[in-house]
Amino acid sequence: MRALWLMLLAPASLAAQGNVSTQGFGYPTGQLSTRSEGAAGAFGEFDAQSPINPAAIASDRTTQIHFQYDPEFRTVAVGGTHENSTTSRFPLAMISGPLWAGGAIALSWSTLLDRTFQVSQSSLINNFTNNQRDTLTSTIQSSGGINDLRLTTAWAFGSWLAIGGGLDLFTGQNRLLQQVTVTDSIPNQYQQSQFKNSLSYNGVGASGGITLRPVKWLGLAGSFRYGGGISVREGDSASVAHGLIPARWGGGLLLNPLQGLLISARYDWEQWSRLSALGRGDLQAQNGGGWSVGADIEGPKLGTNRYVTLRVGGGNRPLPYVLAGTPIRETDLSGGLGIPLLGQRSVLDVSVLHADRTQVLGVDEKAFILSVGLTIRP
Amino acid sequence: MTVRPIAILVTLLGAALAATACSEHLNGGVACPVLCPGQNLQVFDTTLRIDHLAPVYDTTVASFPLLGDEGTLLLANIPNRADVRGIMRFDSLTNYFAHTVNTTTTNLYPTVAHDALLLFAINRASVRATRGSDQIQFLVYDVDTTADTTVSVLASRFTTPHFLGSSSAILASALRDTLTGNVLDTIKIRLDTAAILAKVRGDRKLRLGIAAFVANSRSDGVRMTINVSAPAPFIRYIGSLDSLKNKDTTYFRITSNLRSVTPVTDSSLQNRLVHYPLAVQGALTDAVDALNIGGMPARRVFLRFALPPRIIDTANVIRATLMLHPRPQPLQLPGDTVVLYTFPVLSSNKVTTPAGATNFLPTTNLYNLDSVKVAPSSGSVATFDFVNAVKNWQNISDTLNTRSLVLRILPEGGTSLETSFWSSFAADTSLRPHVRLQYVKRSSFGVP
């Protein structure tokens, strides 16, 4: 037998994440409710439906179920070429209710990092029997991410202080597909190549937080997340890589200068580099803080004692990595509204966030993230 | 201000936008390669030459189908290339007719016969001749001997002393006309009545040898098949008890159908031998450096692959092509092409011989392996794509499902056409079979 290595067809350098926002282990959704997203995350430390500050659930001690849907409409521009894509996300679901003596409990499921993308590239290969060029399409696809399953309890001590804590279980999977398809005019000449892989994550953490309301028009909040260990297993292999869940701390300020007007500011810092040990590539992680400011305004009246809430906000936050020496950040502008439905028994929140990510290597990426959240108080 | 309509409108708008987003469209790639680092996806292209049975065991296997199982009866007369004649057995000639007077039926045994005929239909689509103007004629001989199927003995009977009759000359273009519905495709050959009557009154065993040839140009060739079912060939004669001279007007048309009564020890063979081809000059002589397909009797090529496990078991093959270099054959008839079919072998390694394995073929095109049309006289490399078979072989042990293919023609025994390729024993190594594989290697991917 003689093997002739005739040629090595490299249709292109292909793979992984063909955009700025889903590099590394994925895009940090922020773990924010639709309501918080409407103000660019500024209310995250005070919002009972955002699994950020465990103490916040004590501020709304009704039994409630919240879930939301956040599709992202992304545009990536390279030179004069624009490419649009849509990613569907269900980043948050939560059920919460009251406990005795001012207490509250919540079970939440939220996406810490979403790694959903698909990259396709086409090239031409020589069909040696037909003397023609056939189109070869290579596709890399990933879906899933690392999720945060958290059990939270909090107690309110009077109207001015609440303290909470939570236990976090980080779990999830990246389902990966590598596919090669050749399109030609003659059937049965080519077969599709498909390789599947999966990355399974398991980790733990803990969270704590506090909210203060020293005076009626002022609120203060602070929270942290302690990151425990996280492991990743590739497929059904025995080898496991170990890393650490990113630590996080943040604080917020809430002002209520007028009836029906809330203004908030928030700072949040995350230690993404603790995930580096899980990876194999040379992607550089970055730690850093982001800020946001926003307002929540009581809008037009909707029936008796019900108001449409209008929200607006803006901010800037880091994404977890550095690309080509450039720290990647995202500048957000958002707006939204909350509509009470069925009396006060449910609320439909809708927000739209415009994300402008750092331009790097000539790639300019912008996205609109629509968020639709429904809160039901049975 | 009450804004119920606005709220409803916003709600509906949000729902509509969300619904739109439900149709996820992830595809991207414009930012590659700059933002797609580290995971190069490469298509490898490897050509393996097959030397002395490795990685492919290649051999010619004969003969297919079993004699008499052809489904048609081939006649071919192509000077210096093919001489295939037909044998038809009428081993129980009908020697009586039922005569009813009033309500009484009596079997009458004719003593006089006239207008003895052999009638058969040809498959018009199978008719090939050197020229459309060729005049085709059929000759019929008595080939009844004790030697059942011995070619040399039977061939020697196609001589004048055994001549029974011939057809008129028929224009090849008319025989071949498959478009005009009213063109006659039934051939009627007037037989020697005295000889037939002697058979009828004797051992009732009539065995006919039939040959076709071009009457107006002996250098031209002809090839066709006779229908052996619906309608099957039959013998007919007019029988009566006495000659018309004695004023006996009781006569009947008596027909006899194909039947074989020998060999008595093998009923299966006995049934098959009601009609069979007599390959006086048939297939090419097999040689170790040749892979022969088709011909009369038909051969198959068996290929058992032992391709590198690093490719077959761990990579994804996107294209697999077997390339066979032809041994061009002299042209039989102008425009001759033969379609070669690739069949997977569905057997475990318990079947140890190629001859045995070539019988384990699916009845359907199980793996969607395409056929390849080749001109036997052509010098072009024939390529057979078998990636669909490779896909089915992957992850299944070679002991359970041998990685084997068979190249054959359809229908076997229905044509004298054959094609020949160089085998892995060809002295010129560049002419040996090659297998070209294009594949994508499995890689650990997805870990950032």
* Mean pLDDT (whole number) for B386-414: 88
- pLDDT tops 50 at residue B83: yes
pTM: 0.79
**Residue B183 pLDDT level (bands cut at 50, 70, 90):** low
Confidence (pLDDT) at A5: 34
B20 falls in which pLDDT band (50, 70, 90)?
A: low
Top-confidence residue, B183 or B109: B109
ipTM over cut 0.85: no
Spell out which residues of chain B touch residue A303, defining contact as CB-CB under 8 Å. 2, 4
B62 falls in which pLDDT band (50, 70, 90)? confident
Q: How far is A86 from chain B (nearest CA, A)?
A: 5
Pairing of strands B27-28, A117-127: parallel
Torsion A29-A35-A41-A46 (CA) sign: negative
Residues A107 and A167: their CA atoms lie apart, in Å, by: 10
Yes or no: say if A215 and A254 are a contact pair by the CB < 8 Å rule.
no
User: Which residue of chain B comes nearest to A201, CA vs CA?
Assistant: B447
From the candidates A69, A189, A278, A360, which should be mutated to test the interface with B, based on the most B CB atoms within 10 A? Answer: A189
Q: What's the pLDDT at A2?
A: 39
The whole-number pLDDT of residue B7 equals: 55
CA distance B336 to chain A (A): 22
- pLDDT tens digits for range B310-350: 888 788 899 999 999 999 888 889 899 999 999 999 988 88
The pLDDT assigned to B355 comes to: 87
Would you state the pLDDT for residue A67?
94
CA–CA distance from B283 to each of A66, B102, B322, B329, B374 (Å)? 80, 60, 24, 11, 17
Of A3, A300, A365, the CB nearest to B1: A300
Question: Per-residue confidence at B431, pLDDT binned at 50, 70, 90?
Answer: very high
Residue B26 with chain A: CB contacts under 8 Å: 85-87, 116-118, 141
Gap between the terminal Cα atoms of chain A: 74
pLDDT in tens, A267-319: 999 999 999 888 877 788 899 999 999 999 998 887 777 889 999 999 999 99
- Residue B311: the pLDDT is 84
Q: What is the pLDDT of residue B27?
A: 66
Q: What confidence score (pLDDT) does residue A280 get?
A: 78
Whole-angstrom distance, CA of residue B59 vs CA of residue B292:
9
- Which pLDDT value is given to residue A208? 96
Q: Enumerate the residues of chain B whose CB falls inside 8 A of the CB of residue A83.
A: 28-31
Chain B residue with the nearest C-alpha to that of A127:
B319
Sign of CA dihedral B247, B249, B250, B255: positive
**Least trusted range by pLDDT, from B92-96, B98-102, B243-247:** B243-247
Predicted local distance difference test score (pLDDT) of residue A3: 38
Confidence category of residue B13, pLDDT binned at 50, 70, 90: low
Tell me the nearest-neighbour CA distance from B350 into chain A, angstroms: 26
- Which residues in chain B have Cβ-Cβ distances shorter than 8 Å to A6? 45-47
- Which residues neighbour B392 within 8 Å (Cβ) at sequence distance 6 or greater? B344, B367, B401
CB B135 within 8 A of CB B215: yes
- Taking only the tens of pLDDT, chain A with its 378 residues reads 433 333 333 333 323 357 888 888 999 999 999 999 999 999 999 999 999 999 999 988 889 999 999 999 999 998 888 888 889 999 999 999 999 888 999 999 999 999 988 888 888 888 888 888 888 888 888 899 999 999 999 999 988 999 999 999 999 999 998 888 998 778 888 988 888 889 999 999 999 999 999 998 999 999 999 999 999 998 888 778 899 999 999 999 999 999 889 999 999 999 999 998 888 777 888 999 999 999 999 988 877 778 899 999 999 999 999 988 899 999 999 999 999 887 778 899 999 999 999 998 889 999 999 999 999 988
pLDDT at B341: 94
Q: Tokens 């939570």 label which residue?
A: A166
Q: Do B447 and A199 touch (CB under 8 A)?
A: yes
Nearest-CB residue to B4 (from A73, A279, A302): A302
Tell me the per-residue pLDDT of A179-214, one tens digit each, with 9 for 90 and over. Answer: 889 987 788 889 888 888 899 999 999 999 999 999
Distance CA A125, CA B390 (A): 21
Longest dimension (CA), chain B: 127
Instruction: For residue A118, give Cα distances in angstroms to A24, A30, A94, B323, B337.
Output: 14, 22, 29, 37, 47
Question: How many residue pairs bridge chain A and chain B with CB atoms within 8 Å of each other?
Answer: 271
* Interchain contact, B446 vs A197, CB within 8 Å: yes
pLDDT tens-digit series, residues B213-233: 999 998 999 999 999 987 899
CB A196 within 8 A of CB A147: no
Tokens at B277, concatenated: 């081809």
Mean pLDDT of chain A: 89
Beta pairing partners, A9: B43
